[in-house]
Chain A
Amino acid sequence: MDEKPQRFEKLDREGIGTSSMSRQPMYKYLDTETGKRTAIRRLLLKPELQDSFSQSAGLPSLNAAQEEEEDYYGVPCMTIREVSLLKVMNHKNVARLLHVEPDNEERFLRLYLEYAGVDLTTFFKENPIWASDPKVTKDLLKQLLHGVAYYHSVDAVHGNLRPHNVLIDIDSSKVNVQYNLLITNLQLLPDTLQSNYKAPELLLGSKELSPAADMFSVGCLFFEMLKKKPLFETRHDQIDKLFRLMGAPNEDNWPGVTQLYGKKLSEYRQLKPKNLSKTLFLSDVEPAGVHLLSKMLCLNPNKRITAADALKHRYFADVDPKQQPKTTITATASSSASTSASVNP
Chain B
Amino acid sequence: MAGYSSGDVSHHGTYEGGPDKHSQDKPEDGGRWYFFRKEIEDNSPSRRDGVDLKKEAYLRKSYCTFLQDLGMRLKVPQVTIATAIIFCHRFFLRQSHAKNDRRTIATVCMFLAGKVEETPRPLKDVILVSYEIINKKDPTAVQRIKQKEVYEQQKELILLGERVVLATLGFDLNVQHPYKPLVEAIKKFKVAQNALAQVAWNFVNDGLRTSLCLQFKPHHIAAGAIFLAAKFLKVKLPSDGEKVWWQEFDVTPRQLEGWRSSQPSIVVHDYARIN
Contact = CB atoms under 8 A, between A and B. Distances in A.
B3 A341 contact: no
B173 A84 contact: yes
Nearest to A342: B23
A65 interface: yes
Contacts of B111: 74
Nearest to A75: B162
A175 interface: no
Interface in B24-56: 24-30, 36-37
Contact of A84 (B4, B13, B171, B218): B171
B102 interface: no
Interface residues of A, number: 38
A71 B218 CA distance: 33
Interface in A323-344: 334-335, 337-344
A89 B172 CA distance: 11
Contacts of B163: 75, 102, 106
Given A343-B255, A344-B262, A100 B115 contact: no
Contacts of B23: 341-342
B1 interface: yes
A25 to B, nearest CB: 22
B2 A2 contact: yes
Contacts of A104: 2-3
B29 A338 contact: yes
Contact of A87 (B25, B172, B215): B172
Given A74-B162, A90-B26, A4 B2 contact: yes
B89 interface: no
A72 B215 contact: no
B174 A87 contact: yes
A129 B219 CA distance: 50
A194 B215 CA distance: 49
Given A72-B123, A88-B28, A90-B26, A1 B176 contact: no
Contact of A80 (B115, B170, B250): B115
Given A90-B26, A344-B37, A102 B3 contact: yes
Contacts of A102: 3-4, 13, 163
B4 A106 contact: yes
Given A84-B172, A335-B176, A339-B250, A1 B2 contact: yes
A88 B171 CA distance: 10
Interface residues of B, number: 52
A343 B216 contact: yes
A338 B218 CA distance: 12
Contacts of A87: 27-28, 171-174
B152 to A, nearest CB: 12
B120 interface: yes
Contacts of A1: 2
Contacts of A100: 13, 170-171
A106 B219 CA distance: 37
B123 A74 contact: yes
B267 to A, nearest CB: 17
Contacts of A257: none
26 contacts: A1-B2, A3-B2, A4-B1, A73-B123, A74-B159, A75-B162, A75-B166, A77-B118, A80-B115, A84-B116, A84-B174, A87-B27, A88-B30, A90-B26, A90-B28, A101-B3, A102-B3, A102-B4, A334-B28, A334-B176, A335-B176, A338-B25, A340-B26, A341-B25, A343-B255, A345-B255
